[in-house]
Each structure stands twice: as structure tokens, then as C-alpha cells.
């Protein structure tokens, strides 16, 4: 790692002041930042430790939702009794998203801001549009399990690696972003951006901004929402899906389906959702919805397998959700 | 042996109940500090990227990889390493179980496996191999997983009976 100055921020205001310095970076658990720094991809001159800034909390909100400080660890949240009882999707996504050791360090906010796992991005000396726009994308010709099958474009086909992000998009979560001038609320959906026009970013966060908290509203779908990931754990998703259903006497009224491992952002499966409305819960329904969504997928050789896998993941996830949905 | 070159006041780290003062740059990971500066070489460097678990230690009661945190970030924390596991009265039950169940071959991943297992046992786990496997993701290139899990299940069983 490069040499840097280490600072601790005693509160959010101080953190934002320090974060205004060019070449500074915030750190939570450090499980992604130090990984990136060891690879030479990130080279901050100043590292600002947020772990002592009062952002590590988990509260239930009026109405049965959750308010989670961005520096709460993944383990803090996964083991929180209310999360285990009322937010099974969140618990599943957290446990699937990292090893026990990493969960004890990695933060809830930091997990959303982790960088992609694309080989060419992570190899410092490989030209890559995400590192230097215009330098090219090797993955277009050498795609593997870490590359996208949705989203189009020839600029960057890395996938967003976070399981938690997929779950939070499906839960309609909101985040609180702070900068020195103001705090604003952004939906998880709006946090993540595609590779165009700016492939260097995965989120809307500007330099010096930080995520302070995540709010998850209560919803009737919460208790039955389910996360399905291949491989199940111990690695990054090839394909995953966060699925919840609202059913009325065996007929699907609405659904929420978000996929991971398939695009630059968590991927909302609009085509599948549309296919489900008014249909009976059945294998045929799930297959038709899955086929509709995956019909728009494109493979570039090494990631072709994700298309068939995506169909299977969607079908299995819908079956699992239907089993628990009242 | 690496010598430090820093003007900062020395860092105070609490390791296995002992206070160590060490001068390290901020960029020195806890793992490198333990091994290269403090000569506590029981904790091993496997992948150095947080994937394999060989560098697992316990910090404030929680099992964590030491390769992806900085020594400076752990000032004030209670750090436990493999060196602190055996007692003056003898080996830790888990160490005895690892011997009894032949749970290591080359031994390189073993300190990390034991620290991760201690962390797991403190969290609480049933003496069920499948449940233990789900919650222990440390890698073993020699393939001792079956025996590692059996050793941990053995101790989990002892703990359950003692209750």
C-alpha cells in the first residue's frame, strides 16, 4: 500500500471537513478499501476512519421499519433480533454476502460502495475504461463469471458485487447522503448508476460525500421476501435474486424481483414482474416470467452460462417465495 | 526484519492481555505488525486479501481477518492471537481436539482455523457438522475440512454437556 496519513473522525461534521481534502478516502471496515489499496487501484493520501463517528447503530422505526447507521457492521445487522425475525431477506443477503470474519469488520454502508471484481479492473496495469475512460475494455473479448449480461453498452461490463445492494433495492430502502452543505435522501435504486456516461463510478456519490444511514421501511412483503444466490455463499454471486410476492388466493398481485451478478447495478427484473401480475402461482408462471426476463440477456462467451442460470435462479427464487407467501 | 521509520508516537496494542508498544506507519496491517514487528508469527499470511482466513485473530471478541485492518486502527482494542490460546495449565480444548481428530496436515491454515473456531464457539453453535461448516469458511489447501469440523463439533458437544 502507498504511504498515507491516518485520521480518526470523532463525528460526522469533522469527517466531512476532513473528507474535503483532495486525495482523501473514508474507511469503515477496510475490507474493500485495503484490498483495493494492496492492488494499487486506490491510492489515497489520507485515510479517514469513520468507526468512531457515532454512526454505528441499529434502531427500529415507528411503523416497524429499520434505521441503520452506515458504520454498523454486517454482523451487527445480521444478528439483530428484529432483523432475524422480521427481515429474513436482509439476514440472508448479509450472510450470503461475506465470510463470518469479513462480516465482523465490513460495514453496512461500505458494502454498498465496494468496487467490482472484474479481473481487468483489479489488475492495476491493465487498460480499463473504469480506471481510465477511453483506454478500452478487455472484458468485452474475455468475459467471465464476473461480467454483465444486462445493460448493453461497450464501455464497461463489470457487475456490481454486493448481495446487500440487491436486497436493499428490493426492500425500497433509502439512504442518507451527507456532504458539507447538506444531507439528502436517495433511494437505493437511485444510488447505483450504469456504466454510461461515466464508467469510473458505480454510485452517485461525489468525492467527500458519505453515507450516514440506511432506512428500510416496513412492508407487507417483508416477512416473505427471499434471497437466492448461486453460488450460495463463500464468493461473489454469479447470479442472485431477491424476490418477494404479494398473492391473493393463489394469484400474484404484485412482486418485486431484483437480480445480482448480472449488471453494473442491481437489476430490477421489470419484464418478469410484469409477466407475473394476475397469474396463478405455478411452475409454468415462474418459467414464463423467468424466460421473459432472460430473453433480453446477452452473453459474451465466458458469461453465457449466466443466461440459463438466471432462468433457473428466478424460477427457484419464485418457488421459494411462493412457499412462504401467505 | 523490518525497522520502522515514523515520527508518530508509538502505538499501544493490547495483545493476549499484554501491552505492546510499537512504531509503525499507518499502512502496516495488523497482520504485518504482529508478524514482522512483534515477532508473533503464529498468525499466518495466506492470501493477504481477506479471502482465505489464515490470518484470523479475535478483536474485541469477534473473529476478523488481520490482513485487511491496520495496526493503527486497533489501538485500544483487545486482540487475541493463537499465541494466547494455550493456558499455563495446558492446551485449549480446541487444540486438543485438533490433535485428537488429526485436523491438520501442513498446519499453515491451522492457527486461523482455531481462532475462527474459537470465535464461532463464542457466538454459539450446535454440535452439528453441517451447521459448523456453514459458519466456518476458512480455507484449507490440504483438505482437512472433515476433521476440522469434527474437532469443532467435539468441543461444541463438550460445551453443550457442560451447560
Residue to substitute from B7, B30, B64, interface A, most A β-carbons within 10 A: B64
- Taking a C-beta distance cutoff of 8 angstroms, is the pair B80, B115 a contact? yes
| pLDDT under 50: residue ranges of chain A | none
pLDDT given at position A83? 96
pLDDT given at position B112? 98
Dihedral sign (CA B120, B125, B130, B135):
negative
For residue A71, the Cα-to-chain-centroid distance in whole angstroms is 16
| pTM score, whole prediction | 0.96
Rounded alpha-carbon distances, angstroms, from residue B161 to A208, B67, B126 = 53, 36, 11
Query: Cα-flanking dihedrals φ and ψ of residue A236, to 5°?
Result: -90, 150
Chain A residues lying within 8 Å of B73, measured CB to CB: 6, 27, 30, 49, 51
CA nearest to B64 within chain A: A101
C-alpha cell at B137: 469458511
Q: Report CB contact under 8 Å: B65, A51.
A: no
A124 close to B (CB below 8 A): no
Question: Could you give the CA distance from residue A314 to residue A35 in angstroms, rounded to a whole number?
Answer: 32
- Taking a C-beta distance cutoff of 8 angstroms, is the pair B13, B74 a contact? yes
C-alpha cell at A211: 453515507
Nearest to A161 by CA among A31, A41, A48: A31
Q: B6 pLDDT exceeds 70? A: no
Q: What is the DSSP string of B40-65?
A: -TTS--SSSSSSS-TTEEEETTEEEE
Interaxial angle between packed helices A88-97 and A163-170, expressed in degrees from 0 to 180 and rounded to the nearest 10: 160
**Which of B64, B67, B136 is the closest to A104 by Cβ?**
B64
Question: Could you give the CA distance from residue B5 to residue A282 in angstroms, rounded to a whole number?
Answer: 67
Chain B residues lying within 8 Å of A101, measured CB to CB: 50, 53, 56, 63-65, 116, 119, 137
- Taking a C-beta distance cutoff of 8 angstroms, is the pair B41, B50 a contact? no
pLDDT given at position A237? 85
Q: Report CB contact under 8 Å: A234, B25.
A: no
Q: Residue A250: how many CB atoms within 10 A of its CB? A: 10
Rg (CA), chain A: 20
Q: B3 pLDDT exceeds 50? A: no
Q: B43 pLDDT exceeds 90? A: yes
Q: B5 pLDDT exceeds 80? A: no
Q: Report CB contact under 8 Å: B63, A75.
A: no
Question: Could you give the CA distance from residue A35 to residue A134 in angstroms, rounded to a whole number?
Answer: 25
Q: Residue B81: how many CB atoms within 10 A of its CB? A: 22
Q: Residue A162: how many CB atoms within 10 A of its CB? A: 27
**Which of B68, B72, B134 is the closest to A35 by Cβ?**
B68
Rounded alpha-carbon distances, angstroms, from residue A176 to A60, A76, A83, A207 = 16, 19, 20, 15
Count of CB contacts below 8 A, A vs B? 71
A4 close to B (CB below 8 A): yes
Convert the pLDDT of each residue in A284-299 to its tens digit. 999 999 999 999 999 9
For chain B, list residues whose CB is within 8 angstroms of any CB belonging to chain A. 25-27, 29, 48-51, 53, 56, 59, 62-65, 67-70, 72-73, 116, 119-120, 134-137
C-alpha cell at B130: 453441517
ipTM of the complex: 0.95
For residue B90, the Cα-to-chain-centroid distance in whole angstroms is 18
Chain B residues lying within 8 Å of A31, measured CB to CB: 50, 65, 68
Q: Report CB contact under 8 Å: A233, B137.
A: yes
Q: Report CB contact under 8 Å: B48, A38.
A: yes
The shortest C-alpha distance from B158 to chain A (Å) reads: 23
Q: Locate cell 411462493: which residue?
A: A322
Q: Report CB contact under 8 Å: B62, A75.
A: yes
pLDDT given at position B2? 47
Q: B8 pLDDT exceeds 90? A: no
pLDDT given at position A78? 98
Least trusted range by pLDDT, from A16-30, A211-225, B106-120, B123-137: A211-225
Question: Could you give the CA distance from residue B118 to residue A160 in angstroms, rounded to a whole number?
Answer: 33
- Taking a C-beta distance cutoff of 8 angstroms, is the pair B46, B54 a contact? yes
Paired residues of A147 in beta bridges:
A158
**Which of A3, A35, A105 is the closest to B25 by Cβ?**
A3
Amino acid at each position: 500500500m502507498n504511504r498515507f496519513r491516518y485520521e480518526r473522525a470523532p463525528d460526522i461534521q469533522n469527517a466531512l471537513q476532513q473528507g474535503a481534502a483532495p486525495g482523501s478516502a473514508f474507511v469503515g471496515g477496510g475490507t474493500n478499501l485495503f484490498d483495493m489499496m494492496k492492488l494499487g487501484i486506490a491510492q489515497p493520501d489520507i485515510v479517514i476512519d469513520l468507526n468512531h463517528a457515532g454512526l454505528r447503530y441499529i434502531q427500529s422505526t415507528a411503523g416497524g421499519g429499520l434505521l441503520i447507521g452506515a458504520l454498523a457492521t454486517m454482523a451487527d445487522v445480521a444478528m439483530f433480533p428484529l432483523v432475524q425475525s422480521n427481515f429474513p431477506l436482509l439476514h440472508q443477503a448479509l450472510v450470503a454476502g461475506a465470510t463470518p470474519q469479513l462480516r465482523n469488520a465490513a460495514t453496512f454502508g461500505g458494502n454498498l460502495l465496494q468496487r467490482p471484481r472484474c479481473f481487468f479492473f483489479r489488475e492495476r496495469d491493465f487498460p480499463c475504461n473504469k480506471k481510465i475512460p477511453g483506454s478500452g475494455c478487455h472484458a468485452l473479448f474475455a468475459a467471465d463469471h464476473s461480467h454483465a449480461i444486462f445493460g448493453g453498452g461497450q464501455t464497461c461490463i463489470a457487475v456490481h458485487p454486493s448481495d446487500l445492494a440487491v436486497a436493499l433495492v428490493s426492500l425500497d430502502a433509502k439512504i442518507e447522503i451527507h456532504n458539507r452543505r447538506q444531507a439528502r435522501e436517495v433511494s437505493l435504486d437511485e444510488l447505483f448508476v450504469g456504466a454510461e456516461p461515466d464508467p469510473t463510478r458505480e454510485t452517485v456519490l461525489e468525492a467527500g460525500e458519505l453515507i450516514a444511514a440506511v432506512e428500510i421501511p416496513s412492508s407487507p412483503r417483508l416477512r416473505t421476501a427471499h434471497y437466492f444466490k448461486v453460488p450460495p455463499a463463500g464468493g461473489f454471486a454469479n447470479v442472485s435474486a431477491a424476490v418477494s410476492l404479494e398473492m391473493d388466493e393463489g394469484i400474484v398481485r404484485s412482486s418485486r424481483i431484483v437480480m445480482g451478478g448480472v449488471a453494473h447495478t442491481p437489476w430490477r427484473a421489470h419484464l418478469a414482474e410484469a409477466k407475473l401480475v394476475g397469474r396463478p402461482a405455478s411452475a409454468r408462471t415462474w418459467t414464463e416470467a423467468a424466460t421473459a426476463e432472460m430473453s433480453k440477456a446477452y452473453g459474451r462467451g465466458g458469461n453465457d452460462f449466466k443466461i440459463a442460470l438466471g432462468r433457473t435462479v428466478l424460477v427457484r427464487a419464485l418457488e421459494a417465495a411462493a412457499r412462504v407467501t401467505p | 526484519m523490518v525497522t520502522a521509520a515514523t515520527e508518530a508516537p508509538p502505538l499501544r496494542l493490547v495483545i493476549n492481555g499484554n501491552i505492546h508498544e510499537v512504531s509503525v506507519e499507518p499502512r502496516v496491517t495488523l497482520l504485518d505488525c504482529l508478524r514482522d514487528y512483534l515477532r508473533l508469527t503464529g498468525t499466518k499470511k495466506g492470501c493477504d486479501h481477506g479471502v482465505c482466513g489464515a490470518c484470523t485473530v479475535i478483536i474485541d471478541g469477534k473473529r476478523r481477518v488481520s490482513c485487511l485492518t491496520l495496526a493503527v486502527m486497533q489501538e485500544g482494542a483487545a486482540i487475541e492471537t493463537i499465541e494466547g490460546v494455550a493456558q499455563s495449565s495446558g492446551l485449549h480444548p480446541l487444540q486438543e481436539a485438533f490433535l485428537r481428530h488429526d485436523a491438520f496436515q501442513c498446519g499453515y491454515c491451522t492457527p486461523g482455523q482455531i481462532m475462527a473456531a474459537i470465535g464461532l464457539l463464542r457466538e454459539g453453535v450446535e454440535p452439528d457438522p453441517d451447521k459448523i461448516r456453514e459458519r466456518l469458511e476458512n480455507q484449507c489447501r490440504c483438505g482437512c475440512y472433515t476433521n476440522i469440523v469434527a474437532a469443532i463439533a467435539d468441543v461444541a458437544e463438550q460445551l453443550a454437556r457442560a451447560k
